[in-house]
């Protein structure tokens, strides 16, 4: 009988790729949805990924409800907690994001530990380290922590910090530190399995669709979604991932460089790409009005460095080249007529 993995948030970008890769490797997957009305969407995503659904079952879970968690983890050897609330527009009340993230994490980890699963792999975010105040040229590692009280942060980043800390604290209280592993991806891009482009891909979608008159010098630490999925699977069994946070991201590449990759490799999809770059001062001014720029304004023109060696050791190979991930993203957006 195949080992079963509970994947929360299976309809999401990372969750879908993770479920598909698990099925591809012979695991059985129980995927959770907030609403079973998305069942057809999940099966379509698995078809797009080229995997059958014979070892896929779906269940309904709500991050804010106790119902169903015990049943969801029953019979599972591993749990991948990928689900997390996210909204593109900043909520008036930050707790709209923070509470579901923390409470959902607590429910997932508690249920998993109560059931005696071998490993809980939680999807966190590079943002829990990336915005720690540090001197210029600092190499960010898993020892860095973003201060959740930093006034620069948006509610999403605070939610990821507090959820990650809640998971670590709960594992410590239960004496189960080695049963928890955290994957901290940067801006996740890559081939789409559905018509939902996800949050990080929105930045590429905007420049390809001509939504921005100029390209801002915003540098983001990209990572291929397939590497993120592979890292989750490796972390299920690797002793090196036990009890630790693993940065899964490359050093930042600017949107200007992203556009150059698209022009070179996808010329037919480059017609709407802005031909001008936005000066740094204008990018700062635009960040007053554009939410995505505002939330990342201190990254404008900045060059950060991240320690990806643990992720590459976990994977047993280098992370995929980001230009390849950009091309895969651009092709998906074009094929699905999302630009």
Residues with a known catalytic role: 160
CB atoms within 10 A of CB 27: 20
Query: What backbone torsions phi and psi does residue 235 show, to the nearest 5 degrees?
Result: -70, -15
d(CA 271, CA 257): 16
Tokens standing for 333?
A: 């957006």
d(CA 90, CA 79): 30
| List of residues 6+ apart from 16 with CB closer than 8 A | 10, 42, 45, 46, 49, 193, 194
């Amino acid at each position: 009988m195949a080992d079963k993995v509970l994947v929360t948030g299976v309809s999401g970008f990372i969750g879908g790729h993770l479920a598909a890769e698990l099925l591809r490797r012979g695991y059985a997957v129980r995927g959770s949805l907030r609403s079973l009305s998305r069942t057809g969407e999940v099966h379509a995503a698995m078809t797009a990924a080229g995997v059958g659904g014979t070892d896929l079952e779906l269940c309904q879970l709500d991050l804010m409800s106790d119902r169903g968690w015990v049943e969801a983890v029953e019979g599972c050897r591993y749990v991948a907690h990928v689900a997390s609330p996210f909204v593109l527009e900043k909520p008036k009340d930050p707790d709209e994001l923070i509470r579901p993230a923390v409470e959902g994490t607590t429910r997932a980890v508690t249920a998993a530990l109560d059931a005696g699963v071998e490993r809980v792999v939680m999807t966190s975010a590079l943002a829990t380290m990336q915005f720690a105040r540090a001197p210029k040229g600092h190499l960010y590692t898993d020892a860095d922590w973003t201060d959740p009280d930093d006034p620069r942060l948006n509610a999403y980043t605070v939610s990821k910090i507090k959820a990650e800390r809640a998971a670590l604290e709960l594992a410590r209280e239960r004496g189960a530190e080695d049963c928890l592993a955290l994957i901290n991806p940067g801006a996740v891009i890559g081939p789409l399995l559905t018509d939902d482009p996800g949050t990080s891909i929105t930045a590429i979608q905007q420049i390809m669709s001509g939504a921005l008159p100029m390209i801002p010098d915003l540098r983001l630490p990209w990572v291929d979604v397939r590497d993120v999925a592979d890292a989750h699977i490796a972390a299920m069994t690797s002793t090196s991932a036990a009890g630790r946070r693993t940065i899964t991201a490359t050093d930042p590449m600017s949107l200007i460089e992203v556009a150059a990759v698209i022009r070179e490799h996808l010329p037919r999809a480059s017609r709407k790409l802005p031909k001008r770059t936005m000066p740094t001062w204008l990018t700062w001014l635009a960040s007053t009005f554009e939410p995505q720029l505002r939330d990342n304004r201190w990254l404008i023109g900045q060059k950060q460095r991240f320690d990806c060696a643990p992720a590459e050791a976990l994977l047993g190979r280098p992370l995929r080249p980001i230009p390849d991930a950009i091309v895969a993203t651009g092709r998906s957006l074009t094929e699905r007529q999302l630009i």
